[in-house]
């Protein structure tokens, strides 16, 4: 066996190759250790590999890989934890980036609730903890289960690990808690404990963790809860999921009760009665941010009264009643080494800055977005420039500005391509904005014929939020696509019949077992719920949130295909609470253009799309189709639509024989006439309110 070369004798090229090899080898040992609980090498040999990796990275910082073992922190994702379905989904929060967004948020809430400026409306304001969220279920006051957020619908069972957290009561104090109570909050690691933990990592010759959040995540997801117990994790309670009975009238009261029952709640929580007070509290928290002893990344505002929270409900994946006011992003400067043009799955061209790697907020960054041609030109970013970059949370890093703009020795301005860099070399098009003027996005005109778009669309199709096919990731898709084995989604499902012809098992990196696993993973996804199916199609403006709205509205793929190709499709789609014009238009385009419609038909020969369950509701309007027309006096149109959907009704934009109820306010015109002609039940706003209050 050749003696490995000493890092200080290596060329940059050799260092890059060795780092690539080490990344792969260490990842495979991690997998054996974490997933199979079967380490293949001794701890000392494993540590030696990581040390070699760290030494080469120290000597060749430019060569640090995005998948470097020193960047990839925490335990490898485990399949060892049992899955837990959240009875109430764990949602995320919309963001406010400046004071204006906060003012706008408050106005929107007022508009939705039809409140005037004089009506009282209070909010709680509290720090947004930068950790990971967990839901902890109590039955009769006893902790019975704890789960991570996961994708919001399904998380992982981390009960034993959560039991080790000192802030989490194993038995609730008092006796006035609901029989079933799921408390939600953030698991985090205080700075002092993080430092101590890293000292230990270093003295055990292990890589230190990059930041407290990663350290907390790694600690919570330890297979062995005894290890978690040695990590001083903490927990702030700030919300709840499933509860057997209402236990409070306001957010403030609920948090007070959680504290009484034994939870730690954040002491910087305050009730505010105006946007000004909210912003003042934000500024106070921001000023104290670095003295708190734990990481926070903003302030969360929540409508205080729970009855109003209930009325406001949710839009897509976030509540209408809360928002996260984020702190400004962290920044750093570095050299821009190159500009690459990437073609995304919708054909949008994105210039990407290739950077000399730099650490921003604990993460090594080597790529940053330059957004589009106009942005690139406006910022006049040129190769070789020193640029200021910023990164906020998990958002893609961005180039803020050039720092050496007045230097004479800069390279020539960057020439944005005139034709698409994709193999079709198509003419580039600009999207039109609302006024019909050319917008900022430059697009490849190859559409479904463009191989770059196709491969990105396929990667999206198999991704976690879509079909979630295990073992078929971006890399495999790329190589199957390049070889012409997979050209469109249906081909993925045809692959299982072709493995022998293709001699898949004989390929490099494959074997009998991995082929069998892939076939099983593909076959496991031959049945798919409608919302995942729609998200997977990659229709513009239809992500996870809108896919869910469409799925719940139409219920089945057959109904959707029928409705979206009708002349009334636009009205029908716009009536769905949360679907706007852009999404509605692109849904119609997608299902009426022959290439995409036929692609869907071929896919439907391979998979069965499961109908959505009718929402469980025994309300008077459950399962009914309702249309609103004219002006509503007491509630806003948005609230009316949201409420009807929440009670299990379908809100439609046009009156037809299928309409069950038309709610008609003053000024109702043709829809009222048509409803009368068809004998559809017509209600006034007051009659409607009385009906849904029953």
Give, as one character, the DSSP assignment of residue 173: S
Size of the site for ligand IVH (CB under 6 A): 15
Please give the Cα distance from 450 to 424 (Å, whole number).
6
Helix boundaries (H) for 176-249: 191-203, 212-220, 225-230
- Residue in 56, 91, 162, 522 binding ligand IVH, rule: CB under 6 A: 91
Quick note: the x/- pattern for ligand IVH over 287-316, rule CB under 6 A, is -------------x----------------
- Is residue 128 annotated as part of the catalytic site, yes or no? yes
Q: Which two tokens stand for residue 275?
A: 């946007």
Shortest CB 239 distance to ligand IVH, Å: 5
Shortest CB 99 distance to ligand IVH, Å: 19
Which of the following is catalytic: 80, 128, 249, 624? Answer: 128
DSSP helix/strand/coil, 305:
strand
Shortest CB 479 distance to ligand IVH, Å: 35
Cβ neighbors of 582 (< 8 A, separation 6 or more) are 540, 541
Which residue's CB atom is positioned nearest to ligand IVH? 133
Helix boundaries (H) for 412-536: 451-462, 474-482, 489-494, 512-523, 530-536
> Closer CB to ligand IVH, residue 47 or residue 330?
330
**Strand partners of residue 262:** none
Please give the Cα distance from 560 to 566 (Å, whole number).
10
- Residue in 186, 295, 488, 491 binding ligand IVH, rule: CB under 6 A: 186
> Closer CB to ligand IVH, residue 283 or residue 425?
283
Phi, psi of 395 (to 5 degrees): -70, 150
126 counts as binding ligand IVH under rule CB under 6 A: yes
Phi, psi of 10 (to 5 degrees): -90, 150
Shortest CB 384 distance to ligand IVH, Å: 38
Cβ neighbors of 687 (< 8 A, separation 6 or more) are none
* Spatial CA neighbour of 138 closest among 279, 244, 29: 244
> Closer CB to ligand IVH, residue 91 or residue 675?
91
* Spatial CA neighbour of 566 closest among 587, 583, 580, 550: 587
Please give the Cα distance from 295 to 210 (Å, whole number).
13
Shortest CB 465 distance to ligand IVH, Å: 16
Which stretch in 91-99, 104-112, 140-148, 526-534 sits in contact with ligand IVH by CB under 6 A?
91-99
> Closer CB to ligand IVH, residue 92 or residue 586?
92
Among positive and negative, which fits the CA dihedral 53, 222, 474, 72? negative
> Closer CB to ligand IVH, residue 148 or residue 625?
148
Q: For residue 512, give Cα distances in angstroms to 28, 35, 506, 516, 524.
A: 19, 20, 8, 6, 18
> Closer CB to ligand IVH, residue 7 or residue 135?
135
Quick note: the x/- pattern for ligand IVH over 493-532, rule CB under 6 A, is ----------------------------------------
216 counts as binding ligand IVH under rule CB under 6 A: no
Shortest CB 553 distance to ligand IVH, Å: 22
Shortest CB 539 distance to ligand IVH, Å: 25
Which stretch in 126-134, 287-295, 527-535, 673-681 sits in contact with ligand IVH by CB under 6 A?
126-134
Give, as one character, the DSSP assignment of residue 510: -
How far, rounded to the nearest angstrom, does the alpha carbon of residue 28 sit from its chain's CA centroid?
27
Q: Which two tokens stand for residue 349?
A: 């061209």
Which stretch in 127-135, 243-251, 394-402, 538-546 sits in contact with ligand IVH by CB under 6 A?
127-135
214 counts as binding ligand IVH under rule CB under 6 A: no
Quick note: the x/- pattern for ligand IVH over 132-161, rule CB under 6 A, is -x---------------x------------
Q: Which two tokens stand for residue 57?
A: 């990275």
Which stretch in 108-116, 128-136, 212-220, 604-612 sits in contact with ligand IVH by CB under 6 A?
128-136
319 counts as binding ligand IVH under rule CB under 6 A: yes
Write the Ramachandran bin of 189: left for phi over 0, alpha for psi from -120 to 50, otherwise beta.
Answer: beta
> Closer CB to ligand IVH, residue 10 or residue 129?
129
Please give the Cα distance from 563 to 656 (Å, whole number).
12
Shortest CB 421 distance to ligand IVH, Å: 35
Chain residues 226-265 in contact with ligand IVH, contact rule CB under 6 A = 238-239
Long-range contact pairs involving 270-274 (C-beta distance under 8 Å, separation at least 24): 270/124, 270/125, 270/126, 271/122, 271/123, 271/124, 271/125, 271/304, 272/122, 272/123, 272/124, 272/125, 272/301, 273/120, 273/121, 273/122, 273/123, 274/106
> Closer CB to ligand IVH, residue 280 or residue 374?
280
* Spatial CA neighbour of 370 closest among 384, 388, 346, 356: 388
Shortest CB 361 distance to ligand IVH, Å: 17
> Closer CB to ligand IVH, residue 94 or residue 449?
94
129 counts as binding ligand IVH under rule CB under 6 A: yes
Shortest CB 433 distance to ligand IVH, Å: 29
Please give the Cα distance from 181 to 139 (Å, whole number).
7
> Closer CB to ligand IVH, residue 93 or residue 573?
93
Which stretch in 11-19, 125-133, 419-427, 437-445 sits in contact with ligand IVH by CB under 6 A?
125-133
- Residue in 29, 65, 86, 128 binding ligand IVH, rule: CB under 6 A: 128
Active site residues: 128
Give residues in contact with ligand IVH (CB under 6 A).
91-93, 126, 128-129, 133, 149, 186, 238-239, 300, 319, 322, 324
């Amino acid at each position: 066996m050749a003696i490995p070369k000493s890092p200080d004798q290596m060329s940059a090229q050799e260092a890059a190759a060795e780092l690539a090899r080490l990344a792969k080898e260490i990842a495979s040992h991690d997998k054996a250790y974490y997933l199979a609980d079967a380490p293949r090498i001794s701890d000392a040999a494993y540590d030696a590999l990581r040390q070699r990796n760290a030494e080469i990275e120290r000597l060749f910082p430019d060569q640090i890989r995005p998948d470097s073992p020193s960047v990839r922190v925490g335990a490898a994702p485990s399949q060892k934890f049992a899955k837990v379905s959240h009875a109430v989904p764990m949602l995320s929060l919309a963001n406010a980036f400046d004071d204006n967004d906060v003012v706008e948020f408050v106005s929107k809430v007022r508009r939705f609730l039809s409140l005037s400026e004089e009506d009282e409306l209070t909010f709680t304001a509290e720090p947004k903890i930068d950790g990971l969220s967990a839901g902890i279920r109590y039955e009769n006051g006893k902790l019975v289960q704890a789960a991570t957020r996961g994708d919001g619908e399904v998380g992982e069972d981390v009960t034993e690990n959560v039991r080790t957290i000192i802030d989490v009561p194993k038995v609730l104090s008092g006796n006035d808690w609901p029989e079933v109570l799921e408390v939600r909050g953030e698991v985090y690691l205080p700075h002092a404990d993080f430092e101590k933990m890293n000292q230990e990592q270093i003295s055990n010759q292990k890589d230190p963790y990059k930041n407290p959040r990663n350290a907390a995540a790694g600690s919570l997801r330890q297979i062995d809860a005894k290890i978690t117990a040695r990590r001083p994790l903490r927990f702030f309670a700030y919300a709840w999921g499933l509860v057997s009975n209402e236990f409070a009238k306001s957010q403030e009261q609920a948090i007070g009760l959680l504290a009484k029952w034994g939870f730690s709640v954040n002491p910087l929580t305050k009730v505010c009665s105006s946007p000004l007070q909210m912003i003042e509290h934000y500024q106070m928290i921001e000023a104290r941010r670095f003295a708190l002893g734990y990481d926070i990344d903003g302030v969360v505002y929540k409508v205080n009264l729970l009855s109003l929270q209930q009325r406001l409900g949710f839009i897509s994946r976030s509540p209408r009643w809360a928002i996260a006011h984020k702190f400004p992003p962290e920044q750093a400067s570095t050299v821009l080494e190159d500009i690459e043009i990437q073609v995304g799955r919708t054909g949008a061209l994105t210039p990407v800055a290739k950077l000399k790697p730099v650490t921003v907020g604990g993460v090594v960054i080597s790529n940053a977005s330059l957004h589009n041609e106009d942005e690139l030109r406006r910022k006049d970013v040129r190769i070789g420039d020193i640029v200021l970059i910023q990164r906020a949370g998990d958002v893609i890093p961005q180039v803020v500005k050039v720092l050496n703009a007045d230097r004479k020795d800069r390279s020539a301005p960057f020439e944005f391509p005139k034709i698409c860099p994709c193999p079709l070399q198509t003419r580039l098009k600009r999207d039109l904005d609302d006024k019909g003027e050319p917008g900022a996005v430059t697009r490849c005109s190859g559409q479904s014929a463009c191989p770059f778009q196709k491969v990105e669309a396929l990667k999206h199709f198999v991704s976690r939020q879509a079909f979630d096919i295990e073992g078929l990731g971006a890399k495999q898709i790329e190589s199957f696509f390049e070889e012409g084995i997979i050209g469109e989604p249906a081909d993925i499902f045809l692959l299982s019949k072709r493995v022998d012809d293709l001699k898949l098992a004989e390929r490099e990196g494959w074997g009998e077992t991995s082929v069998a696993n892939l076939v099983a993973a593909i076959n496991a996804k031959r049945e798919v719920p409608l919302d995942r199916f729609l998200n997977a199609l990659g229709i513009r403006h239809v992500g996870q949130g809108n896919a869910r709205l469409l799925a719940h509205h139409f219920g089945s793929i057959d109904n959707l295909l029928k409705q979206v190709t009708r002349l009334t499709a636009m009205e029908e789609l716009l009536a769905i609470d949360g679907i706007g014009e852009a999404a509605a238009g692109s849904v119609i385009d997608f299902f009426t253009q022959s290439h995409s419609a036929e692609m869907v038909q071929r896919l439907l020969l391979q998979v069965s799309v499961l109908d959505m369950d009718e929402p469980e509701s025994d309300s008077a309007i459950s399962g009914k189709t309702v249309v609103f027309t004219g002006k509503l006096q007491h509630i806003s149109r948005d609230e009316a639509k949201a409420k009807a959907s929440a009670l299990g009704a379908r809100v439609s934009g046009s009156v037809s024989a299928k309409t069950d109820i038309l709610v008609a306010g003053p000024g109702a015109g043709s829809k009222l006439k048509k409803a009368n002609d068809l004998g559809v039940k017509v209600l006034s706003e007051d009659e409607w309110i009385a009906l849904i209050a029953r």
